[in-house]
Amino acid sequence: MGIFFDLMQQSKIEEQEANTASLEERVKKLEGELQNTRELLSMTLHALEQHLDVDIDGDGKKGK
């Protein structure tokens, strides 16, 4: 009976390790997507400021 319990425990440990690796990959992907979104938002804001000739974000500059 002990060997079956050990096998079940090992299986659970391996399953948890796989889930952790998968979660880390998903977090890394989401962080990359967030960075891309921030860059796009920044470029869009600068273009809009130049187009409207207005300081939208309050940084004292219109566009770049």
Domain boundaries, the chain: 18-64
What's the full length of the chain, in residues? Answer: 64
Confidence (pLDDT) at 56: 87
Over its length of 64 residues, how does the chain's per-residue pLDDT go in tens digits?
688 778 888 888 888 888 888 888 889 999 999 999 999 999 999 999 999 999 888 888 887 6
CA distances from 18 to 5, 12, 15 (A): 20, 10, 5
The sign of the dihedral angle between the CA atoms of 43, 44, 47, 53 is negative
